[in-house]
Structure 1
Amino acid sequence: MKMTFTAALVASTAMTGAAMAGSHSETMTIGITQNNVGVDSYQTTYEKAFIEAAEANDMVEAVVLDAGGDVARQIAQMEDLIQQEVDAIIIWPTNGEAVIPAVRKAHSAGISVIVTNSNIAEQGFDFVASFSGPDNITQGSRSAEIMCDKFKDMGIADEARVVQISGQPGYTTAIERAKGFEDRLPEVCPNVTLVETQPGDWNREKSQQVMEAFLVKYDDIDGVYAGDDNMGVGALNAAKAAGREGIIFVGATNFSVGYDAMADGDYWGSIYQSPVDDAEAALKTAIDVLNGEDVPFLNYFDTPKITQDNMDEFTKPVF
């Protein structure tokens, strides 16, 4: 099987026509443009798993690209894949709204578009064959339940105060996880107060700085909800450095650093999500679409709750 891979930070214009000799009748050519492989270990692991899954399928010829977090670069990569007349494009959007014109152009060119991991904005749904990934609103909702249950166990559900560190602004996953948490928390713990939300951009160091500012601003913080464990551990590090104890940390997408912090008793809970499952599901969805299979528009895989109480039931994440 022939594979075409482009280095993560090489501009998409470096792709040449020779890199894609055209789709052969016995193969399906699938391009993927990712969000930002270098930003965290989840995306790095996803890319590796995607490549391995594609290599294992003799019917797939893959073009693997990374936008490096740059919307303009991702749009250019979409244009290149359209010009190369690939059979399907998998997009992990850098911005759920800004990529819609490029997605629409691919759809108009007869190319099946599969959105992976983080969905595009709803106004672009007509141009997408399927979304493959986690239900991020459910993740946020489950994180709220984890935090509320812990507050009830501690006897502070009637007075607890929470801060939130969200993901990258404009990024659908960040928006949906925040919405799920914000909608569910008052349903299960109506007297808990969410005092402020600030973005951590999926970055541990920035999230630590956000938490440092929260700790200066608020004398009373009982809980921190972070859009993923990478940011949550950044917040935990800030609390440790400031000597602030007793704060309940809950994330979404359990990273290895979050798992370790749970094992140490410093971090209470998260949502278990596998980047390997994510990558393999995206590729399978694209293949099924091209084969004319009946694929649901929202093709979710399950993401269960993980806390210190049940973490022994889960293997430590590799990312």
Structure 2
Amino acid sequence: MARRQVVAAVAAALAAVALASGCGQAEEGGGTPAAAGKKDLTVGISTLGLSFPFPAAISKGIKAEAARLGVKVTEVDAQGKAEKQSSDVQDLAGQRPDGVLLLPVDSGVATGMADQLKNADIPTVAVASQVGDPKTRQLNDVYPGLAALVTQDEYGAGRKAGELAVKAVPKGGAIAVVEGAAGFAETQQRFRDFLAPAKQAGVNFNVVARQPGDWVPDKAQSACQNMLAAQPQIKLFYAESDDMGVGCAKAVKAANSDAVVIGVGGSKLGTDAVKAGELYGTVCYKPEDLGKRAMQVLHEQLTGTKKYNAQFVTYETPPITKDNVGDCQPQW
């Protein structure tokens, strides 16, 4: 009797092993991508600069989602320098990560990095900024070789800022633009459709001045001081980021000007300024959500859950004023 039980147990164990092996072979033969069962995926992150609040928030979102998915990350910081980012990406490629998330410093220079990663057969997702010359390539015309571009609809955000401008200054007049830094695609993209709502409404906005604020409050404050000194009739400033908008608002207040300031970004600094009446409005960006989505897209590409080929991926960025500022929960 005991012998029968032992034989039966051994047979059951062998059957279980055979069944497990058979299931594994069936999965493999059934077309499941090799990467789908891969353990310990590693993703390289090349960020444009962790000292800047927006990309720092994107990085936070990327890492949170990577932790949830069990993905290891290796991050390098370009510190706002395109040449350093080129070197960083070269180093990352040499480490052979499973994929790369690229937050470009300079959209034009980034084409070489994207090509390098493609030639190394490393799937790459661009995040928050276009790869390619924004003067010749549309935002949703994703650079060949990238799995995807995950970003805001910068054209749409500019248009929404323009809608706010029409509400703020319905009779039109002289306006000025506080631009971002040279080399950033967003500097052009956020302005491209800004005047479209005014034109559609029959409101005449005359752009009398444009100066860079390099994305930071103090430089934007100086730029707005200079523009107001030269053009005191300015009715509205369009700052291409909230940080610059807050700096510009200080210049407007110091000059005793009635000019309205509109920003872009939905930062805590910006939404607080909207609540205080320093900014008329902004456009609500969500960088942590953006980082999480970028990580999801690359993970789907690496595991074969979903395949991307130069795909444009975006999300909603609503316009915000004092009336609905509670709808924008700042993520940076």
Please state which band the TM-score falls in when normalised by the shorter chain. Answer: 0.7 to 0.9
CA drift of 1:255 comes to: 1.5
Q: Is structure 2 residue 250 aligned with structure 1 residue 257? A: no
CA drift of 1:294 comes to: 3.7
Alignment of 1:131-150 (within 5 A): 131-150=149-168
Unaligned runs of 5+ in 2: 1-36
Q: Which residue of 2 aligns with 1:46?
A: 58
What TM-score comes out, normalization by structure 1 length?
0.85
Q: How many Å separate the matches in 2 of 1:144 and 1:107?
A: 38
Distance verdict in 2 for CA 1:74–1:188, change over 3 Å: farther
Question: What SS does the corresponding residue of 2:228 show, helix, strand or coil?
Answer: helix
Bigger Rg over Cα: 2
CA drift of 1:318 comes to: 4.2
Unaligned runs of 5+ in 1: 1-23
Is the Cα contact below 8 Å between 1:148 and 1:189 reproduced in 2?
Answer: no
Q: How many Å separate the matches in 1 of 2:186 and 2:229?
A: 28
Q: How many Å separate the matches in 1 of 2:188 and 2:301?
A: 27
CA drift of 1:50 comes to: 2.0
Q: Which residue of 2 aligns with 1:177?
A: 190
CA drift of 1:54 comes to: 1.5
Q: Which amino acid aligns with 2:274?
A: M
Q: Which residue of 1 aligns with 2:98?
A: 87
Q: Which amino acid aligns with 1:303?
A: T
Is the Cα contact below 8 Å between 1:136 and 1:180 reproduced in 2?
Answer: no
Q: Which residue of 2 aligns with 1:73?
A: 84
Q: Which residue of 1 aligns with 2:239?
A: 226
CA drift of 1:45 comes to: 2.2
Q: How many Å separate the matches in 2 of 1:318 and 1:102?
A: 29
CA drift of 1:184 comes to: 4.7
Is the Cα contact below 8 Å between 1:225 and 1:249 reproduced in 2?
Answer: yes
Q: Which shows bigger deviation, 306-315 or 139-148? A: 306-315
Distance verdict in 2 for CA 1:312–1:92, change over 3 Å: same
Q: Which amino acid aligns with 1:82?
A: A
Question: What SS does the corresponding residue of 2:143 show, helix, strand or coil?
Answer: helix
Q: Which amino acid aligns with 1:137?
A: Y
Q: Which residue of 2 aligns with 1:105?
A: 116
CA drift of 1:185 comes to: 4.1
Q: Which residue of 2 aligns with 1:119?
A: 130
Question: What SS does the corresponding residue of 1:163 show, helix, strand or coil?
Answer: strand
Q: How many Å separate the matches in 2 of 1:297 and 1:291?
A: 17
Q: Which residue of 2 aligns with 1:281?
A: 293
Q: How many Å separate the matches in 1 of 2:90 and 2:74?
A: 13
Distance verdict in 2 for CA 1:184–1:172, change over 3 Å: farther
Q: Which shows bigger deviation, 295-304 or 90-99? A: 295-304
CA drift of 1:31 comes to: 0.6
Q: Deviations over 1:227-283 (max 9, x none)?
A: 111000000011112222x21111111111211111112211110011111110111
Q: How many Å separate the matches in 1 of 2:234 and 2:118?
A: 47
Distance verdict in 2 for CA 1:270–1:79, change over 3 Å: same
**RMSD, matched Cα:** 1.8
> What fraction of aligned residue pairs are identical, expressed as a percent?
23
Q: Deviations over 1:48-98 (max 9, x none)?
A: 23222222222x121111100011110111111111111111111000001
Q: Which amino acid aligns with 2:54?
A: Y
Q: Is structure 2 residue 54 aligned with structure 1 residue 36? A: no
Q: How many Å separate the matches in 1 of 2:195 and 2:211?
A: 13
Q: Which amino acid aligns with 1:164?
A: V
CA drift of 1:309 comes to: 1.8
Q: How many Å separate the matches in 2 of 1:94 and 1:62?
A: 20
Q: Is structure 2 residue 308 aligned with structure 1 residue 297? A: no
Q: How many Å separate the matches in 1 of 2:160 and 2:191?
A: 11
Q: From 246, 251, 259, give the equivalent of 1:247.
A: 259
Q: Which amino acid aligns with 1:76?
A: S
Q: Number of aligned residue pairs: give it.
A: 287
Moved >6 Å (runs of 4+)? none
Is the Cα contact below 8 Å between 1:228 and 1:252 reproduced in 2?
Answer: yes
CA drift of 1:25 comes to: 3.6
Q: Which residue of 1 aligns with 2:221?
A: 208
